[in-house]
């Protein structure tokens, strides 16, 4: 590329301009001297010779000038001029510059922050080979469209019958205790099909992956995480082949995964992976791998090359349909299945949240650009004389547009740089608010991609807010401006300023209405009656592995709770296998002798095994009947408690106490699940802070479910709950040093974590709406102040002719009201249209809340009129004699 | 995926903003360039004054040219990589900048010569077709 080579050479000479100038001077001097020398040889006198040489050369200065033009890059030299000029201009108007830079820094900072999170959550591909071919396969049914897990036999049938997948892999979370090390450690793992790694396209860092035969009963092999390898084996390469004890069973380490490896992506702290042989317990009568009724697996697949999601979806759907016909007892409630792209499945509801936040922050930037464009237009008016002078001196229109655009870009770059600095600070704060509620958000940070985005936004906004004022200014009517000696109307551009203001008001209304809906919804959630008292509650967890506690578990828990209740500071203590606000749930079907139906169509409800005193501890009232007691053991009659929602749904208008049901949960006896008598009814407990309605629930005594592990502890304290952590840990260690205590948290923390996503949405949208309103009000003020300044003479004249000052005040306020009213009308329509987008994120309020909209409109109108009042007052206080003399 | 024509963008910027600042009306420029190249080809390494003198001599002073014009041309050729320059001393022990052809420059002469001959031939045909000439 010839021209590229030339450009490089020219750019290089920019840097060494001075020394090149000196070199040229040397060369030209030597030319003249050589010529003079030759002339002397031809017989001229030295002074004549020199004169002739100079004459033959032509203009030395001219040559030097042309040489320089050829050497340098005029673009950069002009750019340098423009930049210096822009710097001077901006320094001379510090208030203007500061305002614009501040607005931009906020706008770009907010956008960069949000983009960094959206990028980490939604845009980055999954960290596996060809992630676009990875999909999640979900079981669901018409009655439960949000999706369910799959059972092993169903999964095996899917795997054997499909033709769409290269690999289809089941996985589910497991947790257990690592013993045989200095201190027992709690581990989290995943039990998966053998071909997890081939499916993901990942290799172990050390050792090997699973082979197909390792799915068979009795196989005990694990892959460990890099972090686990470092902490337990000190990074020793000899770790491969070693044996570790998990819940008392010996497992062989066959490989170490790379540090960057994560599976599932949402569980970065997974310590190990093992095969599904984990679920093929030889001591279990009916192990999970052969139990078609136990739905607890997730399934992920890699599509064969060329197979689309739709094709795979179609195939798996028909396989699930056939299975439902073949096994109606177990599969009626799991009659459908679907294939969803993995990233989409992982994002779930958060996709809407991300898009809403991204849209909101984009609107803020649009409003900010509108403001700056208006400010620039005002400045153009002040600079008309300067611009006219420049064009009088020969500056072309393009040259002037370029000068003004350079100023915009300079402003924008300064604002953008500050915005990035702001984002650096804001990202960690926002991440703190998100917590774990948004998958992958924790990976967000300001990196090169994000900075690239910020740069793009910066330049784009400079063009957006800079182009119209620059074009307007370049149309300045030179003769009129210079003749009149003062600013004239910027022809025909006033309507533009008004349109910008109306649009700002409208966007401000839309944003504020959205934020208001989320705030109302958050208040509803936070104030909602949870059905228990989360104050002064400590929760914790530990496991009682079968290896040590298969037969003694009930006795152990009885002793434990007795000693726990005796600790000073403890008011009450109980346990439950599923805690509220913990994201856990177990649902199970039950048989009702009064309403016999096919086994496949039995109703189902939440199932929660609890200890005696659990309800007293969390302060959920007994509505009827009695609580469980220590007497409700395996030898006693089998009993259960139901909640009010259950009673209302399944025993409407009847007394449920004394009725018998058969929940399909085994208690370890060979005869299968027993019949249980209802002995009590309790109040409804909100299991998740964001659940929309109370669900029917069945409670069983843990002592009548001795094979179920593990009871989570709840302690009501009279002291600050976390101060009880140490005594409780000491108690557990004293009972068994091999039991590590985990997940020590207060119930208030759990509630707060559950609310973190709605809180994040509310706070972010709230701040954006606030920012938008502020910018809108400032923008309106600017427009009104400008319009008053422009009409000074006219207003002065009116006053001189006897107009009342209040009439002037009314006139200005009326102008402002027109703009406001137009903006509010458009904004209201926008809010009514946009509201339903938020529907899935709203609780306790419809997407078109009239009271809320009225409040938003009232506050925007008030703020707007207030902003217009200051210029209106100024207009009313114009001194007619002075106004008529000026300009 | 979005594919991007970087080369196109580059040319767009160069042309829109007039980065090079070269004027296209300078018709003689190419002529002078070729003269300089030819001179260097036949004479070998020369300093600026000698090149200017040589062009004057060969054109038998029909070309009225300021000697200074040679310097922007020399710079342009250097920027294109067709000639290179180095400081040396003349026979009269004066310091001067000497120019010589590069390999690329040598190749360029052929191309330019061919180009020039084509233009000359075209012009000759136009002039030959002049009715004032043919009627004679």
Per-residue pLDDT tens over the stretch A182-199: 678 889 999 999 999 999
Instruction: Flag whether residue B80 sits within 8 Å of chain A, measured between CB atoms.
Output: yes
Q: Give the residue from B30, B24, B26, B54 showing the smallest Cα distance to B40.
A: B54
Which of B10, B17, B96 faces A30 most closely, judged by CB atoms?
A: B96
**DSSP assignment, residue A695?**
P
In the structure encoding, which two tokens stand for residue A32, read together? 């003249």
User: Quick check: B80 and A6 CB within 8 A?
Assistant: yes
B134 contact partners, CB below 8 Å, separation of at least 6: B128
Q: Which residues of chain A have pLDDT under 70?
A: 1-7, 11-18, 72-75, 77, 182, 285, 476-494, 886-887
Query: Taking CB atoms and an 8 Å limit, are A75 and B10 in contact across chains?
Result: no
Cα angle A633-A634-A639, degrees, rounded to a multiple of 5: 70
- β-strands A742-746, A712-717 pairing: unpaired
Size of interface A-B (CB pairs under 8 A): 95
Q: Identify whether the C-beta of residue A511 lies closer than 8 Å to the C-beta of residue A363.
A: yes
Q: Is the peptide bond before A710 cis (omega within 30 degrees of 0)?
A: yes
- Residue B12, pLDDT score: 43
- Give CA–CA dist A384/A394, Å, rounded: 15
- Chain A hits for B79, Cβ within 8 Å: 5-6, 9-10, 70
**Tokens 């069983």 sit on residue:** A700
pLDDT of res. A307: 95
Opening angle at CA A477, ends A474 and A481, nearest 5:
115
Contact at 8 Å (CB) between A661 and A608? no
What part of B 96-125 touches A (C-beta under 8 Å)?
A: 96-97
Give the three-state DSSP class for A772: helix
Alpha carbon distances (Å) from A416 to A112, A428, A771, A813, B47: 9, 19, 17, 35, 52
Strand ranges (E), A259-401: 272-275, 298-303, 336-341
What pLDDT does residue B134 have?
A: 43
* A212: DSSP letter: G
Q: Specify the pLDDT at position A476.
A: 64
Q: Check B20 against A74: CB less than 8 A apart.
A: yes
Q: Which one of A56, A59, A67 has the shortest CB-CB distance to B72?
A: A67
The answer to whether residue B8 neighbours chain A at the CB level (below 8 Å) is no
Q: Is the pLDDT of residue B44 over 70?
A: yes
Closest-CA residue of A relative to B49 is A31
CB contact under 8 A, A58 and B96: no
Residue-wise pLDDT tens digits, A722-743: 999 999 999 999 999 888 898 8
pLDDT band (50, 70, 90) for residue B5: very low
Q: State yes or no: pLDDT of B18 exceeds 50.
A: no
Cβ within 8 Å of residue A48, ≥6 positions away: A39
Q: What is the pLDDT of residue A533?
A: 95
**8 Å CB contact between A409 and A816:** no
């Amino acid at each position: 590329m010839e021209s590229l080579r030339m450009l490089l050479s020219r750019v290089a000479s920019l840097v060494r301009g001075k020394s090149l100038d000196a070199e040229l001077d040397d060369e030209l001097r030597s030319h003249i001297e050589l010529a003079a020398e030759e002339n002397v040889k031809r017989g001229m006198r030295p002074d004549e010779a020199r004169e002739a040489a100079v004459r033959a050369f032509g203009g030395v200065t001219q040559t030097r000038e042309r040489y320089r033009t050829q050497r340098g890059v005029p673009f950069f030299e002009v750019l340098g001029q423009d930049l210096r000029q822009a710097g001077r201009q901006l320094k001379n108007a510090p208030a203007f510059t500061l305002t614009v830079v501040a607005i931009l820094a906020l706008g770009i900072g907010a956008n960069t922050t949000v983009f960094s999170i959206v990028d980490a959550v939604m845009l980055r591909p999954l960290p596996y080979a060809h992630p676009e071919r990875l999909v999640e396969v979900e079981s669901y049914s018409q009655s439960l469209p949000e999706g369910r897990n799959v059972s092993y036999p169903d999964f095996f049938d899917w795997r054997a019958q499909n033709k769409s997948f290269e690999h289809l892999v089941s996985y589910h979370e497991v947790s257990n205790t690592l013993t045989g090390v200095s201190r027992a450690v709690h581990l989290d793992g995943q039990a998966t099909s053998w071909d997890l790694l081939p499916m993901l396209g990942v290799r172990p860092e050390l050792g090997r992956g699973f082979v197909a035969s390792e799915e068979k009963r009795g196989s005990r092999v694990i892959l460990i995480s890099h972090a686990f390898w470092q902490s337990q084996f000190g990074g020793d390469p000899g770790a491969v082949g070693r044996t570790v004890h998990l819940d008392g069973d010996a497992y062989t380490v066959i490989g170490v995964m790379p540090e960057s490896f994560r599976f599932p992506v949402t569980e970065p702290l997974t310590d190990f992976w093992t095969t599904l042989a984990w679920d093929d317990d030889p001591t279990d009568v009916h192990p999970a791998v052969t139990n078609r009724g136990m739905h607890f697996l997730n399934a992920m697949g890699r599509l064969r090359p060329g197979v689309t999601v739709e094709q795979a979806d179609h195939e798996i759907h028909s396989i699930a349909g056939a299975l439902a016909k073949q096994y109606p007892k177990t599969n009626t409630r799991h009659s459908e299945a679907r294939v969803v792209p993995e990233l989409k499945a992982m994002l779930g509801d958060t996709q809407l949240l991300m898009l809403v936040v991204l849209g909101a922050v984009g609107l803020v930037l649009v409003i900010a650009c509108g403001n700056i464009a208006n400010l620039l237009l005002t400045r153009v008016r002040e600079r008309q004389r300067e611009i006219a002078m420049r064009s009088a001196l020969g500056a072309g229109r393009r040259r002037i547009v370029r000068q003004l655009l350079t100023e915009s870009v300079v402003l924008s770059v300064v604002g953008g740089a500050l915005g990035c600095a702001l984002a650096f600070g804001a990202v960690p704060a926002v991440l703190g608010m998100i917590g774990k509620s948004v998958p992958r958000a924790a990976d967000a940070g300001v990196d090169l991609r994000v900075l690239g985005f910020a740069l793009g936004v910066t330049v784009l906004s400079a063009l957006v807010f800079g182009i119209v004022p620059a074009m307007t200014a370049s149309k300045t009517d030179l003769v009129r401006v210079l003749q009149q000696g003062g600013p004239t109307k910027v022809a025909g551009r006033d309507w533009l300023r008004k349109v910008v203001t109306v649009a700002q008001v409208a966007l401000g209304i839309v944003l504020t209405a959205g934020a208001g809906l989320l705030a109302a919804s958050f208040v509803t959630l936070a104030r909602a009656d949870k059905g228990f008292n989360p104050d002064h509650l400590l929760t914790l967890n530990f496991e009682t592995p079968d290896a040590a506690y298969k037969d003694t578990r009930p006795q152990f828990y009885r002793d434990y709770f007795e000693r726990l209740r005796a600790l000073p500071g403890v008011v009450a203590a109980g346990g439950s296998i599923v805690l509220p606000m913990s994201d856990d749930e177990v649902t199970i079907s039950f048989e009702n002798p009064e309403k016999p139906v096919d086994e496949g169509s039995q109703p189902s409800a939440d199932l929660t095994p609890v200890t005696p005193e659990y309800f007293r501890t969390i302060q959920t009232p007994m509505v009827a009947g009695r609580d469980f007691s220590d007497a409700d053991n395996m030898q006693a009659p089998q009993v259960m408690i139901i909640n009010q929602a259950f009673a209302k749904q399944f025993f409407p208008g009847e007394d449920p106490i004394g009725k018998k049901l058969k929940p399909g949960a085994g208690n370890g006896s060979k005869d299968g699940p027993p019949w249980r008598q209802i002995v009590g009814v309790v109040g409804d407990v909100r299991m998740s802070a964001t659940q929309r309605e109370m669900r029917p629930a069945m409670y069983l005594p843990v002592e009548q479910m001795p094979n179920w592990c593990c009871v989570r502890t709840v302690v009501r304290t009279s002291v600050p709950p976390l101060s009880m952590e140490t005594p409780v840990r000491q108690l557990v260690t004293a009972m068994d040093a091999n039991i590590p205590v985990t997940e020590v948290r207060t119930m208030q923390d759990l509630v707060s974590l559950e609310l973190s996503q709605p809180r994040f949405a509310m706070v972010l949208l709230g701040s954006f709406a606030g920012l938008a309103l502020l910018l809108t009000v400032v923008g309106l003020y600017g427009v009104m102040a400008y319009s008053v300044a422009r009409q000074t003479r006219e207003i002065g004249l009116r006053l001189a002719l006897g107009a009342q000052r209040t009439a002037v005040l009314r006139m200005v306020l009326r102008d402002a009201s027109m703009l406001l009213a137009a903006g509010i009308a458009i904004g209201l329509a926008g809010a009514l249209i946009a509201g339903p987008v938020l529907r899935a994120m709203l609780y306790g309020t419809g997407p078109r809340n009239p009271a809320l909209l009225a409040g938003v409109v009232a506050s925007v109108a008030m703020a707007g009129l207030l902003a217009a009042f200051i210029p209106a007052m100024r207009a009313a206080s114009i001194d007619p004699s002075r106004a008529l003399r000026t300009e | 995926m979005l594919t991007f024509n970087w080369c196109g963008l580059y040319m767009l910027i160069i042309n829109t903003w007039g980065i090079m600042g070269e004027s296209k009306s300078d018709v003689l420029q190419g002529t002078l360039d070729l003269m300089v190249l030819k001179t260097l080809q036949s004479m070998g390494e020369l300093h600026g004054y000698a090149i200017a003198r040589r062009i004057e001599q060969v054109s038998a002073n029909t070309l009225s040219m300021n000697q200074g014009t040679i310097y922007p041309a020399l710079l342009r050729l250097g920027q294109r990589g067709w000639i290179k320059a180095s400081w040396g001393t003349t026979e009269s022990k004066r310091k001067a900048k000497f120019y010589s052809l590069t390999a690329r420059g040598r190749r360029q002469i052929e191309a330019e010569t061919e180009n020039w001959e084509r233009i000359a031939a075209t012009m000759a045909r136009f002039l030959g077709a002049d009715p004032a000439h043919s009627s004679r």
